Amino acid sequence: MLSTKAGPSSPSLSKARPNRWRGWRRKRRSRGPEAMPELVDRLYDLADGRDCVSIETLVRTIGAQGHAPLLLIAGLFMILPIGMIPGVGGALGLIVAIIGLQMLLDRNGVTIPRFFGKREISADRITNLAERIRPVFEWLRRRLKVRMEYLSTGKISLSIIAVILIVTGGSLLVLGAIPVVVPMMGLPIILFAFGLFARDGAVVAAGYVLILIACVTIFLLHRNLAG
């Protein structure tokens, strides 16, 4: 669970947890779709031997591969049940907005407020996430490819995506109280992240279409609730 508990991540009392993923681990650093399995390795390593992981540690570890992997993890948490827990959607939205701001400023890494970074996530949730996405990532690795790079690496497209992340992420600080809004925003964010991470512009284009659909749907939903 996501906690407001301050302090460093506590070591696990059980050191004998089996490393079921050791045979799947990759040591090389890759680019494009081939880099995707390395993100799962980082998640396993991050959770191994811990009970909880602070958001600061998560951001520092996953962010070492760039903005896209961290954006992808935030988006994945948004579409899972944890994203609909009151307060969690807003916290994830804040991470997304900060990533967008760092992208817009063309800065490497992601810096988050210290008070927010001390919040913790259960290591079991991180491990479960890694277990869920591992086969999906392997499937996508074989099907995504580097194409239409003007959408995945071009400065104009990256700036537009950054602004979208700032606006959508910031809006979740308010709209995150509506449970369906969080996963609805999470889906296009995941597409943006996959497209940027794998340098696949076609996936980025799909993200543009989906964010437009999500915004229109959320606007109509909010208007109906307000009426």
What domain range includes position 110?
Answer: 26-226
pLDDT of residue 145: 86
Separation CA 202–CA 18 (nearest Å): 39
Residue 27: is its pLDDT beyond 70?
Answer: no
The pTM is what?
0.74
- In terms of pLDDT, which residue wins out, 75 or 113? 75
Decide if 216 is inside a domain: yes
* From 119-123, 132-136, 159-163, 175-179, the region with the lowest mean pLDDT: 175-179
> How high does pLDDT run on average in the chain?
79
Report the C-alpha gap between 72 and 78 in whole angstroms. Answer: 10
List, as one string, the DSSP characters of 111-169: ---HHHHT-EEEHHHHHHHHHHHHHHHHHHHHH---B-HHHHT-HHHHHHHHHHHHHHH
* pLDDT number for residue 67: 86
In a domain, 156, yes or no: yes
Is residue 12 in some structural domain? Answer: no
Where is mean pLDDT largest: 64-73, 125-134, 215-224? 125-134
The closest of 21, 43, 34, 41 to 141, measured between CA atoms, is 34
Residue range 145-171: mean pLDDT, rounded: 92
φ/ψ region of 49 (left if φ > 0, alpha if ψ in -120 to 50, else beta) reads left
How far is it, in rounded angstroms, from Cα 182 to Cα 222?
Answer: 13
pLDDT at position 10 is: 40
pLDDT value at 25 more than 70: no
Q: Pick the more confident residue, 116 or 173.
A: 173
Does the pLDDT value for residue 47 go beyond 80?
yes
> In the predicted model, what is the mean pLDDT of residues 162-173?
91
Judge whether residue 7 has pLDDT over 50.
no
Share of the chain above pLDDT 90, in %: 21
pLDDT for the residue numbered 15: 36
Of the pLDDT bands very low, low, confident and very high (cuts 50, 70, 90), residue 12 is very low
**How many domains does one find in the chain?**
1
Percent of the chain with pLDDT over 70: 81
The two structure tokens encoding residue 138: 């392997």
Q: What is the pLDDT of residue 4?
A: 40
Q: Per the domain annotation, does 8 fall within a domain?
A: no
Higher confidence at residue 143 or residue 32? Answer: 143
Domain assignment present for residue 84? The answer is yes
Give me the pLDDT at residue 44, please: 87
The answer to whether residue 6 sits within a structural domain is: no
Supply the DSSP string of 176-193, one letter for each residue. TTSTTHHHHHHHHHHHHH
Kindly state whether residue 17 falls inside one of the protein's structural domains.
no
Query: Residue 20: inside a domain, yes or no?
Result: no
pLDDT for 158-167, tens place per residue?
Answer: 999 999 999 9
